Chain A
């Protein structure tokens, strides 16, 4: 954000009041200068959720509107406060006589009603157009179902052959979309109301249980765009984050191909294979891994609805193709690799992202701590005394009480889920 008029007016407010006390113009002028400098330089650089840095068509529309509205508000504010400051100084008690008891002038009143009305009419016209533009769905090129629950998002890509998606893809944590494509999110929720917000791509839209809400997203360039759930959704609301990944069309096709890749079980005798057994016993009750088979060769279908109130748990089929886990709260990659991806130029981004989580990059510390005791890492409802109303079903992930040995095995197994 380079120009925010709002903080400027804030500082001006203090200035005008200090005028009154000191009535020394020089001090005021100095203060105004300082205030202006702070307002200009006073914003964070590269804030991931900055609402003034649009990276796509929809956010751009909002930004254009904001760039009309904020200056108008700023100018009106400066004018009004300047008038106020003038009055405060000019008409202070200097021993003048009690003024005439005039009760007002209707002409002035009417002018002062009409002028703001005209300004607001102008703003209103632009607003109306933008609202209608942002609600269009005819130009949709791709649909993604987005389902919120406490405290993560599930992304489900329905079959769309024109986008190369021949069988449904289920993922979580990171929303992957092709650049230059009008993507329509169909949001809903499994429990309470959440809100989907990627500031660089569009404003927010609530995900309400029982309803389908539409949100347009379009990204101009490959890159990673941060977001956050913005409707208060209970205990771990602060930890419900999201990241949108925009990939070039070729890279997106590669990503789709990887997601649709068949499951390969780890080789016999490896630690990962032992991990698969632990996973089947401990994790697959809730977490689906597509293609995972039990000892009899029967496909394992998780039943999260029997254990979790929302009735779903993140699908872990290609976990290592994502950079985050646990509702995008924790990085699956270490700081160096994370910076590498986040700071990559838009040309280099796709390749870096598609590398996934390599062994060098894996942030084992986070993953192990999570497997050791998930509720200690992220506040969730796993305490049996608080689950009476849900019939013992968890809201979030419980502490599984895995041994360190088991954790080693599961980490080894999970890192094979490329």
Chain B
């Protein structure tokens, strides 16, 4: 709920609006489960995003381990063909939509307002709605496991294989509906964050003084706003085809199945950047902090991020080089894809040059950030090899591609997110994650990741296709290092990787129980989110900071000696925070909690299930949704007392925007 300012008006004398508008009061609990379920605080929502994403990370991880177990030996029979198809479909769907995007959402929700010196996001209730819709979407998706089998068409769900005839179970229906609900969540979230960044930056923070993490999140939100409608259209078409007998992808009715591929990849390729750019943003914060130097070429990093996003909309067909597009389209998309390597390369060089001449402090956060730089470079280069379309026709749909995108997404994105965990954990929870366990976590993940996905380069180049529930020795070649050997190595590697992640969970538990209390500024950090306590107060900043520099926090601590041009410390972070506390703002308004985002999400989820299970359930869902919409508009603006603040001395009142 944005706090808006407007000239004072004569307040109606007779009644107070809160009494008139409805019998429902806003929840006021500040303790226990209610505090979390009904919160609209961006920090609590951010933490819940993180927890949800982590749960799904583990679910997706178990699916991955089952896949690797099945493929460890030829003719694996741990999973049936049907179960295996469901497993790889759900592994990808879970990791992309229920882990990677929400985890980036967790970081964005928590740190974006803090980094721009705001007290909350622009629309706090919508923020809560995004979270709960995501949870509902995730539940709908995974409920399919217990209701007749999950989706079995691959996360790309190519038509016509996803149609009712070729996938007769309800799995794809759950998938379609779950993704539509999660899609609403992402769309609402992205609009919310765009408005927040554009309107709620602290005074003095021009766009080019924004931290890079915030910049990358902004780019990602624009990508989502433009790409999610496309996948929504595709999902609606598929839903109509499956549930209501439409024929959008039915060849005998004159359809062209390639339509789905175009729609999917126009969304799907920007989606790749939606996944990776937040991680780029995180390490663009971590690297300068631990190299003690500002980011090399800040405007180049920002603009390369934006141009990756922009060009990302023009390369979708490189997922379709074997689909039969015709040589001219293939050539154009091939060249465009190569072009996207250039801004990506710029980023890598900028990160390296940030560290050049620095004073590198190898904490766990820094190790993960470096891990990203190295592993992403490898993934990026293997990406260049299949931007070459003829070469790609040999590699696409083989394990070479699996290797490539796991280097990019696991080595890139996941390492970036883990870097963020170690870097910001003290900020969020006020305790330091254990560095020694962090080291174990990092090295096991590096070894496990390279053992799992490294051999897949060989597997793919030697002809092992993806998405096969069994591989056969007849096609595995001879010699000690045959494909069987590398499949086994990859499977062992996946368990090393799992142990590495287990170390992170152990670290979290250990830290929660007896972790070291975090100082205010444990890393000698650079950006605004550290100009407050650990964890931050509900209102974030006691006084809205005024920004003069990129890396404002650093420049409040350090000063350049005009004689020697060396940096000298002029203030401790702790003193700066204490000074802010002393000069706290009066009249800080915070939005009150609300029941309705949660109720509305449940209504939407029920409505979705109704599409599968028939009209009666739809009616119930529609009723709950309508009811919740009414609750939403009619609930009073604040929990208690009154809507309108007394006039300020300047003759303006601060009012909570009613529809926030």
| A–B contact, 8 Å CB criterion (strictly below) | yes
Name A residues whose Cβ lies closer than 8 Å to a Cβ of B.
Answer: 1, 4, 6-7, 9-11, 13-14, 16-17, 20-21, 38, 41-52, 59, 61-62, 65-66, 69-70, 73-74, 76-77, 80-81, 83-84, 87-88, 91-94, 96-106, 108-109, 112-113, 116-117, 120, 123-124, 126-128, 130-132, 134-135, 150, 191-193, 195, 197, 199, 202-206, 208-211, 213, 226, 228-239, 241, 309, 379, 386-390, 395
What are 10 of the A-B contact pairs (CB < 8 Å)? A45-B482, A48-B463, A48-B477, A62-B391, A99-B358, A109-B297, A124-B334, A124-B338, A204-B393, A210-B255
> Interface segment, B418-426, B464-472, B621-629?
B464-472
- CB-CB under 8 A from A66, the residues of chain B are 385, 388, 391, 394
Q: Is the CB of B298 within 8 A of A6?
A: no
What string of 1s and 0s marks CB contacts (under 8 Å) between B214-246 and chain A?
A: 000000000000000000000000000000000
- CB-CB under 8 A from B330, the residues of chain A are 131
Name B residues whose Cβ lies closer than 8 Å to a Cβ of A.
Answer: 80-82, 85, 152-154, 156, 158, 160-161, 164-168, 251, 255-258, 291-298, 300, 322-324, 326-327, 330-331, 334-335, 338-339, 341-342, 345-346, 348-350, 352-353, 355-362, 370-371, 373-375, 377-378, 381-382, 384-385, 388-398, 400, 403, 443, 446-447, 450, 454-455, 457-458, 460-471, 474-479, 481-483, 485-486, 550, 554, 558, 560, 565-567
Q: Is the CB of B322 within 8 A of A195?
A: yes
Q: Can you name 12 extra interface pairs (CB under 8 A) apart from A62-B391, A203-B322?
A: A10-B378, A44-B462, A81-B374, A91-B357, A97-B566, A120-B341, A127-B335, A195-B322, A206-B322, A208-B258, A234-B166, A309-B165
Closest 5 CB pairs of A and B: A49-B463, A203-B393, A44-B477, A47-B477, A104-B297
Q: Is the CB of B342 within 8 A of A232?
A: no
Q: Which of B153, B293, B335 contacts A232 (CB 8 A)?
A: B153
Q: Interface centre among B156, B331, B394, by most A CB within 10 Å? A: B394
- CB-CB nearest in chain B for A133: B390
A389 to B156, CA, bound (A): 22
Q: Is the CB of A4 within 8 A of B374?
A: no
Q: Which of A69, A92, A195, A390 contacts B360 (CB 8 A)?
A: A92
Q: Which of A69, A97, A237 contacts B567 (CB 8 A)?
A: A97
Query: Distance in Å from the Cβ of A391 to the closest Cβ of chain B?
Result: 9
- CB-CB under 8 A from B443, the residues of chain A are 21
- CB-CB nearest in chain B for A204: B322
Q: Is the CB of B362 within 8 A of A238?
A: no
A102 to B358, CA, bound (A): 10
Q: Interface centre among B341, B388, B454, by most A CB within 10 Å? A: B388
**Do A69 and B388 contact each other (CB < 8 Å), given the known contacts A98-B558, A99-B357, A100-B566?**
yes
Query: Distance in Å from the Cβ of B389 to the closest Cβ of chain A?
Result: 5
Q: Is the CB of B359 within 8 A of A98?
A: yes
Q: Is the CB of A116 within 8 A of B446?
A: no
Q: Is the CB of B324 within 8 A of A205?
A: yes
Query: Distance in Å from the Cβ of A119 to the closest Cβ of chain B?
Result: 9
- CB-CB under 8 A from B358, the residues of chain A are 91, 99
Q: Which of B292, B322, B458 contacts A99 (CB 8 A)?
A: B292
Query: Distance in Å from the Cβ of A76 to the closest Cβ of chain B?
Result: 6
Q: Is the CB of A389 within 8 A of B164?
A: yes
A42 to B446, CA, bound (A): 20
Q: Is the CB of B397 within 8 A of A132?
A: no
Q: Which of B385, B470, B481, B550 contacts A43 (CB 8 A)?
A: B481
